[in-house]
Every structure is written in C-alpha cells, then in structure tokens.
Structure 1
Amino acid sequence: MEAVRSLSTVAPTSLIRAHLSKPMFTLSFTHKNSNLTRFPKTKLNKFNAISPSVSTQPKAETDTENVDHQDEKFDWFSHWYALSPVADLDKRAPRGMKALGLDVVVWWDKNENEWKVLDDRCPHRLAPLSEGRIDQWGRLQCVYHGWCFGGLGDCKLIPQAPRDGPAVHSSPKACVGVYPSTTQNGIVWFWPSTDPKYKDIVTKKRPPYIPELDDPSYFERDVMFTRDIPYGYEVLVENLVDPSHLDREGGSPMEISIQRIDKNGFVATEDHGREWSFVSPCIIIGSLTIKESPNNTKEKIVQKPSRKHLLIFFCTPVSPGKCRFIGVGPRNYRLWMDPFVSRWMHHIVVNLVIDSDLCLVRGQEEKLMEVGPSNWQKACFIPAKADTIVVAFRMWLKKYAGGQINWGTKFSGYLPPILSREQLMDRYLNHVVHCSSCNGAYRGLNTLKISLQVLSVASLAIMATINSIAGRNTLAAASILFFVGSKWLSHFIYKTFHFHD
C-alpha cells in the first residue's frame, strides 16, 4: 500500500544471487507473444525464499532429491504468526485478540517472566479470559467466577470448590488450551495449534528472524506500527507488494523480475535496485541500498558507507475481510528530524497512508469475492510488468496455498457486511486504543483540550470582577484564544485519532 511512500524506500542487507535456467512456468492468462514476465526455475530443488537478512532456526534442508517437495501443499496452521508489538502490550492486564480465526488472550506471566498465549475462553462457562485480570500472584483470573490459571493453562484455583474436597482444579477439563508463543524482534508470535505435539515447536522451528530489528545502529526500528484493517489478508499482501499504485496518475513502465518462487515465498527485483522478498505466509521485506559517492582527498579516496533502508511488513489473517498489519521501516542513517518526531507522530502519517486507499481496496475485495479467488487471473487484465510481483503472489497463493486462506471450520469464507466509510476508517478502535504511544497522546491532548476550555470560562469569570478596561480586554482576548484553541484541538484529535477522510 502507500505505506511504501510513508516509510520511504528500503534496502537489502545483501545481494541475493539467482541461479537461473529455463522457465518453470508461464502465466496461463497471457498471449503467447506477450512481453509479460516469465518466472524462471532455479537449479536447486528447494529454495528458501528468505533474504539473507532473514533467518530461521533451525535452517531448512536444501539438499534433497525429492522434486515433489515443490508441489507440497501449504499448511496455514503450521506457521508462526505475529500478534502484537511488545511495546503495545500491558503487563498489568490481559488482551484479547483474534488471529487465523482463533480467539486468543495474550498476557504476561510474571512467574515465568514471559508472554503467554492461551485460548480465550474459561473452561467453566466459556467466558472470555481477556475480560479478566492478572491477580496478585501473577495468575490469569476469570472475573466471572474467579477461576485462576497459570502460564501452562493449568487451573490454580476454583473458589467454589470445597477446600477439603476433591482437587477438582487439577482435572484436565479445568485446563485452558495453550498456544506455543515466543517473543522475537520485539513482537509476540504464536503457533495456531493447542495440540500437545507442538508444545516445544519453538525449539525446532522459530519465526523468521530479522537482525536489523535488533541492531542498535538502525533508526526507527522502535516505532513499530500495528492496526487491524477491515479487509482480508490476500488483498493486503497484494496491495503492499504493488509498487505502481504509488504514482496512480503519472506512472511509468517498470522492469520487475522474479528471481525465485516456491512454497516458502519468492524474491523480486526492480530495475532501480529495490528488492522485495515475500516470506510465506506473513512477511514482506522491501529493501534498497543507496550508495554514497566517495570523498576525494589528496591522499586517498574515502568510500562512504551505503545507506540502507528496509520496509518490513507482517500480515496476519484475522478473519474473512479482516487482517492485522504490523509495519516498521528501520534505516542505518539518521535524519535531522529524528529527535523531534515521537512514535505517535510517525503513526499519524502511517494511518493517513492506510486510509488513503482503504475503501478502494475493500471495494476491490468485494468484487474479487464475486468472481471467486480461482478466477483472479481471468477477471483481472494484467498487461504490464508493473504488476509482476502481484501476479507472483497470486500464483504462489494458487499453486501452494489453495488460492485463499484455510480457516478450518471457523468461517465459510464470506465477507462481513460492508460498513460505512466512518466505520471502515475508524482509527480509534483499530489502532489508538491498543497503541501505547497514540493512546497516551490521545489522553494527553484531551486533557489539554479540557484545560483550555476551563481557562476560557475562568478568564470570563475573572473579567467580570475587574474594573480596568485594559484588564477586561486582555482577559476577553485570552478567553477567546483559549476557546478557539480548544475547538481547533478538538478537531485535530478527532481527525487524527478517530476518522479523517
């Protein structure tokens, strides 16, 4: 989306080498003599489509003779998904979230000193645990009847059970389902299965790791943005990897090529040096290296270090017609404005960018659902190479992932009813209320607004007690300024933290 424009262009940490040979497949909807991009087949039997700056532990095997691996179907429930930046979670209270159709509760287990992800329902009467609290012993407590749970989902206390009776709290039926979770790159991740066989999955397969997000030499890595968006995962990814919509009315031809594509994702390069990596199922990394001209001196030529800028997007499916977007744009150089721009100010810009085409993409999704995901290539006319990356994603989705999200038995796949423009673009419930920075700024600015209103009234009251004409005029002017300031601030708060068309 236009988040590419707000977070600026981006940079690869290193050059990805392509070992290319003959074409693997062509676009079925193109003419034989079309100049559209063909996707070449690598000489390697298996490719991990992850930029060198992204790694997983342990590494996947690359030496295999099983060619059928390329046709292995993608399992949506066998991958890690990003839930929330740690900066936006409160250790004092649980938070309910939805991901991949699952209702989960994220909370801080002070006894284990880590974030936990549990099924968001109490086994007693199925009340949401996210409406509960963290008690003084660090247990997650359901406030409906007071049942308490530990980080392993084990029931610690049933207040209604007799103290001298059977230990009913130790029954397996009293336990809460636990999802494997881990914290990495400042984000809480979860594995969408409570099956005990995945209990130690983090020791065998970790989320993709991006070292720049932990590198102190990179700036803006701590201004991570997250928002729940009222359109689906498929069109979100399609929107994010689409470079041509940034210049809608004055676009120009682009040369884009796909280096590799397989079940793990793909890598694409643009003619001006930008590189895009899609790491299935939910990470997009855009990168750009800006090489500095060397300084010429009498003694020697001093080569300046390259400037690198990344765009990193995490896209988590929530439900049909809804997804969670987490974005950040770290760079290894400082701008003069950095000390003066706080996190919530960055978020103002990103919210504007997201809202700029939100209604457009939601309408697009409705039309795509009408024609059916399997008919995307037939319904859409793709005559230019500018859409190469979008085509690559849709081909990955069709070839490896069934053409759309697999929701299991949770949803039928139908989109929710269309909301009003104000509801679609509502920032408060989808971002501000859960963002520690924006929520703090929102409360602070509201306090300032009320203070200005009080000062306006107080100035009028004091003016009535003064006989001096000059003093009365001064207080009258001050009262007007305070009133105008409060009205302007009220408008600023509404369009910044609620709705701005």
Structure 2
Amino acid sequence: MLSRSTAPAAGQQRAARASFSPLRPPGPIARRRSRCVPRHRRAAAAGDAASGAPALAPAPAAAAAAVASPGTKGGAFDYAAEWWPLAFAADLDREAPNRIMLLGEPLVVWWDGAAWRCFADRCPHRLVPLSEGRINAAKRLECAYHGWEFSGGGSCERVPQGGGGASPRACATAYPARLRQGLLFVRPKPEAGPGAAAADESKIPIVEEFEDPAWVAQDTFRDVAYDWTTLMENVLDASHVPFTHHKSISNRNVIGDYVTTLDGPVTAAGFTGIWPTGPRGGALGPQSGTFRAPAFMHQKIDMREKRGAESMVVVYAVPSSPGRCRILNRNAFRFAKARLPAVVARLVPAFMVHLGTQVPLEDDVIFLHLGEEEYLKARARGQAVGQAYYCPTQADAYVLAFRRWLDDFGGGGPWGSPDAAFLGRIGPRQSRDALLDRYAGHTASCARCQRALRRVRLARRAVGVAAGAAAAAGLLAAAVAVCLAAAAAGGAAGAAGGGAGGAAAAALSALSWFAGAGGAAPGAAAPAAAGAAAARALGWGAAAALLWWLANGALGALESAFYKGQYPPPRNTDKA
C-alpha cells in the first residue's frame, strides 16, 4: 500500500492530470463490407453442393479461444476483442504480403491498392500461409500454392483449377483493419460471418497529442524475445532508465527521488499516476503516466517551465506469442518557442532514427529475457508477485499496479496465469547473439530499413569499384614514374638504341600522358615528368585508401548496424 504521507500535493496532482491528455476516439470513417457475407447467403447451398463439401461456417479466429482470460475481479478479459497496433504503416511493404504474429496467430497484412487489409495467414484451400504468395496485377492476394486469388474483403475471386470460389468456405478470414495516426490497428475477430459484430472503433487507443502537428514523433519497433507483460512492466518503470540506459539516452550520475504515486485505484480500464520530481533530479519537470488496458503506456514530461518543451514516450506492447512480443515505440517532442529542433528532427532519415533507437531497446533485452524466466519459475512455485519481487520503494508503484491489473482484471494475460505450463511455452533461453540480432528483430520486417540497406550495399559496391580504379591508376602512375626515372638515368644511350628504343620511347610517352606526366619522352624533361608521375601516383593511392575506408569502414559499419546490436552495452563501457 502506498503511504499517504508521500503522496503529491493536490495541486501537483491536478497539474499532472491537466498535462496528460485523455485518449480520444477517432471520428467515423467509411468502409466497405466484405463480399463474403452476401455471397454466403446467396450461394452457399449451390457452392457446397457443387463441391460435395458439407456446409460449414467459416472457422473462427484460431487465437480467440486462447485469449479470453478470467480475472479475479469481474468477467473474462477478451484480448481478441481489442484493437492492436501491428506496425507503422510507413514500415510495411506495399508490394508484398507482410507476415505478423498477434496473440499466437499468424496474420498477413497487405495493400490492395486502396487500403491495408489483414487476413488470418492461411489459405482456406490447403491452409498454407498466404504471406508466401504475392500481390498480383489485379491487386489481389494470390496464394503461392495453387494461385487462388482473394480481394480485400476476403472473397475468393478466382480458383484457377475451376469452381468452388462462390462458397463461403473459399473466403479468407478477414479482420477489420484501420489506419490511425500512422499505425495500422487490427481487431482479430471477423466482422463477417455467423455471430460477428461490427468492431467498435472508439476503442482504438490513439493519442490526443498527436492530433496537434506541433508534436514531432520519432517512431520505431522491435520484435523481442520476452513476453508483452515483461515489456509493459519495464516501460512503466522510470527508475531503471538512468542505470540501464546510461550513455545511450540517460545518465546514472544525475538522479533524484523516485516517489511515484497513483492518482486513484487500479480499475479494469487501467490507472494513471504522477512522479512530481521527474527525471534528472527534477531538472526537467514532473512526469505523468498512464496505463490503458491491456497494453498501452503513455508517459509525459512537462518541461515547459524549465526547458520550454514537452516530451512524451508512448509504447504499445503487442503480444506475439508466449514469451515473444513486438514493441511499438513513439518518442515525441513539442517545442513551445524554438522551431529549429523540430525542423531538424523531421529531416533525420527514418532509417537513422530506427538504427539509433535500437540501441536503448537492446540495452535491456538480455537481462529482461533471462529475468523473465526467473520470475515465471517463482510464480510456478506458487509465489505471489510480492513474494517473487522485493519492492520496498515507491519507485515500483506502476510495476505493482500493472501486475495487480493483470491478476485482477486481465486473467494473467492472453495465455493465462504464469504457471508451470506457461513457463514451458516460452521456450529455452536464447544466446546473446540471437537476442542482439537486429536484422531478425527489426530490419527484416521494416520496408524503410530494407530500402536503406539496399542503397547502402549499392553505395558500398560503387565506392569499392571506385577504390579499385583509383588503386589501378595509382599503380600505373607509379610504374610510369619508375620508367621515366630509369629513362632519365640512361640519358642519350637510350635514344641511340635504334628503332626498338624509339618504339619504347613512344609507348612510354603515351603511358606518361595517361599517368598525368604530360606525355614527356625520355630526355631532358624526363626527371620532371617522373616527379609528376610519382606525385600523381601518391594522389591516386591516397584516393584509393580513402575510398577503401569509406566502403569498408564507414559504409561497412553502417551496413553492419542493420544486422546486429553492440555488446557490451554503452553503460558497461563507461567507467564513470
């Protein structure tokens, strides 16, 4: 229980609540309904009779039965009824299907030329993943196995082998997908079919501040090898930042108190709270926070008095499968007076933002991955949260509040309570290299980083070719310099050598011209020409060395940054 004596003053609480904007539901949008429902009513009997198949309703979402978890207070929490952000739309590939895991179910996200669509990633024919197919010229999702084609609503528009497309069983399982504030949200329950209900778009967890164009957001994501509950617990905990993220985004030598309190009780909707001192020992301003069930976190620092700005961190913790999740992270700023920082922030290429923000995400991935297993072992032994964790300070107020929500209202999560069975489902612990695999965790799923990586590779090849050409030119100039020096030493004896000597002199003159020595022939000008060729050789050699460094040093390091994170982390390399 939190001590009343440490609670912030009423004025501070009111100020914190005023600086924190509630989540606002979006306005209505027009949408097209799937053609599968009318086709089902119109042609089910004929289609199934023609195929000889029994008339069956479309299969429900595979994950639905596994994601309705009973809480100790109230009824079951239906995780499949929530709107989940899958990706930033700018990071999705419009030319190919995108496979994303949500609540243990593989989904395929694709662009039909007008809107983003989301299906269960299985073809109704032989259940192979549709994400292995393609988006064809007709802007339909085409299965790679037998070429069945599906339109945006899930209807099967073509069966190349003939017949069967009119049956509702030929439809792909389509889920409602909506684009809000640059994020693609999906509700993993079909809107069409028996017992289906229209999705309530007012529940999409958007952020009011992002409706103001003065806010500048830098977005990133990462697929990580720990559970969404571990992620949410971690990002709610502000007291770890100066230590875990020292040198990457914070400073462990500048800290203050961490007296964090809740504004009220933990409810089924979540909770809000305030840290009156705020980070950096109070140098920035108070920090307010919220947890909106089931997986939305928002923390905001009011720096208007001390820095003339506000900053905000928004995190969506998306459950992929037991012990795996996707973090969608938005770091945002609003500058009250200065305009230049916002302009500069908007000019930074997205791939540079992504690479830079992977560092703090990797700062804690190893110990969170390992610590999660220890926590689950303790819970599997029957220990409660307060027995598994020792949390004597109010710095852990949000952490304990989240765990309270999870037990009281969230049923332990979409996979159920953290028991021995859940411990077995998270799988063995991964190696350090696997946890720091940036390509698997981000680059492979990010269209913008894929494009940037292709450009970096192309630039490396081009610069490498230029380095080779410069080296060849340097060798040629060096050879000419040696020959001219030898010719100068030979003097008139070389000129008296007859026809062969004349031919050699002509060839040497031509080479010296290419080498930048002015086409001088052996004679009085040979020493000067040799010096010029030697200088040119040094110049080409320096250019070759610089280009080689650019290709294998700077561009090589940049290419490597798309593939792997660094170890040890920055905090461990700084002795201060």
- Provide closer, same or farther for how the CA distance between residues 396 and 203 of structure 1 changes in structure 2, counting only shifts above 3 A: closer
Distance of 1:198 and 1:184 partners within structure 2: 27
| Partner-residue secondary structure (3-state), 2:221 | strand
| Aligned residue in 2 for 1:257 | 261
% identity of equivalent residues = 27
Distance of 1:57 and 1:186 partners within structure 2: 13
| Aligned residue in 1 for 2:186 | 190
Q: Point out which structure has higher relative CO (alpha carbons under 8 A, 6+ apart).
A: 1
Q: Structure 1, residues 412-434: CA drift from partner, whole Å, max 9, x if none?
A: 53212222111111111211122
- Provide closer, same or farther for how the CA distance between residues 477 and 92 of structure 1 changes in structure 2, counting only shifts above 3 A: same
Distance of 2:308 and 2:82 partners within structure 1: 34
| Aligned residue in 2 for 1:459 | 470
Distance of 2:406 and 2:389 partners within structure 1: 16
Aligned residues: 430
Of Structure 1 and Structure 2, the greater helix share is in 2
2:25 pairs with one of 46, 52, 56: 56
Distance of 1:69 and 1:464 partners within structure 2: 79
- 1:108 matches 2:117: no
| Aligned residue in 2 for 1:219 | 216
Q: CA RMSD in A?
A: 2.9
2:556 pairs with one of 482, 490, 498: 490
- 1:290 matches 2:355: no
| Partner-residue secondary structure (3-state), 1:324 | strand
CA contact (8 A) 1:149 1:157 kept: yes
Q: TM-score, normalised by structure 1?
A: 0.79
The one-letter code sitting in structure 1 at the alignment partner of 2:169 is K
CA contact (8 A) 1:180 1:198 kept: no
Q: Structure 1, residues 446-501: CA drift from partner, whole Å, max 9, x if none?
A: 22222222122212222333321111121122222222222213134214543322
Unmatched runs of 5 consecutive residues or more in structure 1: 1-25, 28-32, 39-49, 60-67, 162-166, 294-304
1:400 pairs with one of 400, 405, 409: 409
Distance of 1:52 and 1:428 partners within structure 2: 36
Q: Structure 1, residues 343-376: CA drift from partner, whole Å, max 9, x if none?
A: 2222222100011111011011111121127632
| Aligned residue in 2 for 1:322 | 324
Distance of 2:176 and 2:197 partners within structure 1: 7
| Aligned residue in 1 for 2:247 | none
**Structural mapping, 1:403-418, within 5 Å:** 403-406=412-415, 413=422, 414-418=425-429
| Partner-residue secondary structure (3-state), 2:315 | strand
Deviating beyond 4 angstroms after TM superposition, the runs of 4 or more aligned structure 1 residues are: 33-38, 197-200, 249-252
| Partner-residue secondary structure (3-state), 2:214 | coil
**Structural mapping, 1:72-111, within 5 Å:** 72-110=75-113
CA contact (8 A) 1:182 1:202 kept: no
| Partner-residue secondary structure (3-state), 1:405 | coil
Q: Structure 1, residues 90-109: CA drift from partner, whole Å, max 9, x if none?
A: 22221111111111111112
- 1:350 matches 2:357: yes
| Aligned-pair CA distance for 1:241 | 0.6
The one-letter code sitting in structure 2 at the alignment partner of 1:356 is D
Q: Structure 1, residues 24-64: CA drift from partner, whole Å, max 9, x if none?
A: xx48xxxxx998989xxxxxxxxxxx9543123699xxxxx
Q: TM-score, normalised by structure 2?
A: 0.69
- Provide closer, same or farther for how the CA distance between residues 204 and 87 of structure 1 changes in structure 2, counting only shifts above 3 A: closer
- 1:121 matches 2:116: no
| Aligned-pair CA distance for 1:384 | 0.6
| Aligned residue in 2 for 1:389 | 398
CA contact (8 A) 1:101 1:407 kept: no
| Partner-residue secondary structure (3-state), 1:479 | helix
Distance of 2:359 and 2:566 partners within structure 1: 8
| Partner-residue secondary structure (3-state), 1:286 | strand
Distance of 1:158 and 1:370 partners within structure 2: 50
- Provide closer, same or farther for how the CA distance between residues 375 and 247 of structure 1 changes in structure 2, counting only shifts above 3 A: same
CA contact (8 A) 2:453 2:562 kept: no
Distance of 1:135 and 1:458 partners within structure 2: 43
Distance of 1:78 and 1:353 partners within structure 2: 32
Q: Structure 1, residues 193-220: CA drift from partner, whole Å, max 9, x if none?
A: 2363675533564312323223222123
Point out the structure with max Rg over C-alpha.
Answer: 2
Distance of 1:407 and 1:77 partners within structure 2: 14
Q: Structure 1, residues 301-358: CA drift from partner, whole Å, max 9, x if none?
A: xxxx963322111110001111011111222224534255222222222100011111
